[in-house]
Amino acid sequence: MRGRGRDNGRHKRVFGIAAAAVVVMLVAGILGILFNCGKSTMHLREKNAAEDKEIVNKETGDKKGGDNNADSEVKKQGDYQVKRLQNVDYPEETELMQGKNREPDSAFLKNLLPFYKQTMLDTLLDDKKQNMAYSPINLYLCMAILSEMTDGQTRQQLFDALGQDSPADVRKQSQRIWNSIYSGSRISKCILADSVWLRDDIPYDKDVLKILADNYYTSVYQGEMGTKSMDQEVQKWVNRMTGNLLEEQVGKLQTHKDTILMLLSTVDFYDQWVDRFPEENTKQGVFYNEDGEKAACDFMKRVQNSSIYKEKHFSSISLYFESGRSMNIFLPEEGVSVEEMLQKDMKKILGISSGADREEAEYGEITLQLPKFQITTEELDLIPVMKKLGIKDLFLPERGDFSKILGQDSGSHLVYVDKAEQATKVAVDENGCSVASYTVVEMRDGAGMPDKKYQFNCNRPFVFIINNKIDGTPIFAGVVRNMG
């Protein structure tokens, strides 16, 4: 699996982002995902309003509105125009908070478990022994959008991988994910944003574009692929939706002359710990890297009364955020590698992270030592991951069926996905972290002092999962193998 990682032990916040672009083309294509958790719907409206103002300022006449209008909002870059074909009507915050679609769906969660298990194993078990971060929920939503663009066996393979039976099921559960993940406040934020970028000389099915806007809140743009102006607009959109946290990675995003379509999905997330790590407790210590080398790094320290899971191959605790989300840490027992733990205990790990196995937890006073860390995963190749899920035709020019999005013009092009990548940045410090997820795998109990005491020293490789508090959905997962 290809993925370049860079690490740094010092950082103030944690950022979660998945970057990739879906580009499908006659001879080549690129699939991509951009993950940016953390803007409320109000923030998204403000971003779009700023974009509208920019469009009006650049036009010589009145702004033309209307979804699916080829003459709608236009951005000028030099002599070339990039058009916005489709606006998005985001739900109100009160609608999200009170909506029934925020509630967990047990059948849906059960269907998702194989997807989570397979993709997390394929990404975290990196043969290069690097630190790794991955967003399973980001990949899921991108695959859901792709299912709206495809038909026949190509679409069925996506349905099977998503654990759903019909377009209606995929739309319902994708909305449930979006609505349950959403949050925006002064101390925490997490939201998704999606966009599709189309080539200007090819007609696309407007009904499909409307479905993407209504069910996935996907904005649609059209322009000349392979031009500097198009690349600049793509990069500006991603930077705007990710708070400029991934400028270096975003600067590498490019379209090509043979690009048919590019799909971008972003997440911008930040949350604060309920119980901060006192900065005066942070001391330098030794982390034992997976290769046996020792690395000096800053360890945060705090004492907490909480639940702990003691399994044969690992121990696990939860760290809670102000929003109610949690980060679960899975620390292999000494002599047990991360690979062995994941291969033998992935089902148990998902059960703990989702909260399903909370009755098996012990309770006690836990002295936690956790290194401050930052992980940047670049160019994580998702095609092998998707192929292991049974998705084959999507990547074959002679088999990929994109007739839903291309309509009658589909026979004129041998369209396929040529590239699917994800980039993710994660950082953790005394104040909090930034990757998407909300789940309660443990409950704090103030009734009496615990009689058991535990040491939980993350001075060797460990796995973390950030969960959704409502249904336990794992939105981010990562493995820290090396420090320094």
**For the segment 392-441, what is each residue's pLDDT rounded down to a tens digit?**
999 888 888 989 998 766 667 778 888 788 878 888 889 887 543 211 11
Q: Mean pLDDT per segment of 10 residues, for the chain of length 484 residues?
A: 48 31 28 32 56 41 33 47 70 56 57 88 85 87 93 96 93 86 76 84 89 92 90 87 78 84 82 92 96 94 93 95 91 95 94 77 92 86 92 88 81 78 84 43 28 85 87 85 88
Q: What is the DSSP string of 345-375?
A: HHHHHHHHHHTTTGGG-EEEEEEEEEE-EEE
d(CA 196, CA 225): 13
d(CA 394, CA 416): 6
274-309 pLDDT tens trace? 999 999 999 999 999 998 899 999 999 999 998 999
Q: What is the pLDDT of residue 372?
A: 94
d(CA 352, CA 439): 10
d(CA 386, CA 395): 10
Residue 261, CA distances (Å) to 212, 237, 254 in order = 14, 16, 12
Q: What is the pLDDT of residue 68?
A: 35
Q: Where are the domains of the chain?
A: 4-272+375-426, 279-372+436-480
Q: Coil, helix or strand for 280?
A: helix
Contacts of 193 (CB under 8 A, 6+ apart): 36, 39, 44, 217, 219, 241, 265, 266, 267
Domain range 279-372+436-480, CATH architecture: Roll (2.30)
Q: What is the pLDDT of residue 149?
A: 92
Q: What is the pLDDT of residue 265?
A: 82
Q: Coil, helix or strand for 274?
A: coil
What are the backbone dihedrals phi and psi of residue 358, each rounded to the nearest 5 degrees, phi first? -65, -25
d(CA 375, CA 478): 9
Q: What is the pLDDT of residue 419?
A: 78
Q: Which helix (H) or strand (E) holds 38?
A: none
Q: Which helix (H) or strand (E) holds 210?
A: helix 206-216
What are the backbone dihedrals phi and psi of residue 431, each rounded to the nearest 5 degrees, phi first? -90, -35
What are the backbone dihedrals phi and psi of residue 295, each rounded to the nearest 5 degrees, phi first? -135, 135
Contact 418, 23 (CB under 8 A): yes
Contact 311, 464 (CB under 8 A): no
Cα angle 282, 284, 289; round to 5: 120
Q: What is the pLDDT of residue 400?
A: 86
Tell me the two tokens of residue 426.
């994660």
Say whether pTM exceeds 0.75. Answer: yes
Q: Which residue has the tokens 């026949």?
A: 152
- The number of beta carbons lying within 10 Å of the beta carbon of residue 184 is 17
Cα angle 6, 10, 14; round to 5: 75
Contacts of 185 (CB under 8 A, 6+ apart): 40, 323
Residue 355, CA distances (Å) to 177, 352, 438, 440, 476 in order = 17, 5, 11, 6, 16
The distance in angstroms from the start CA to the end CA of the chain is: 23
**DSSP assignment letter at 449:** -
Contact 407, 205 (CB under 8 A): yes
The CATH code for residues 4-272+375-426 is: 3.30.497.10
Phi-psi region of 131 (alpha: psi -120 to 50; beta: other; left: phi over 0): beta
**DSSP assignment letter at 312:** S
What are the backbone dihedrals phi and psi of residue 63, each rounded to the nearest 5 degrees, phi first? -70, 135
Contact 364, 107 (CB under 8 A): no
Q: What is the DSSP string of 219-272?
A: EEEEE-TTSHHHHHHHHHHHHHHTTTTTHHHHTT----TT--EEEEEEEEEEEE
**DSSP assignment letter at 438:** B
Contact 6, 21 (CB under 8 A): no
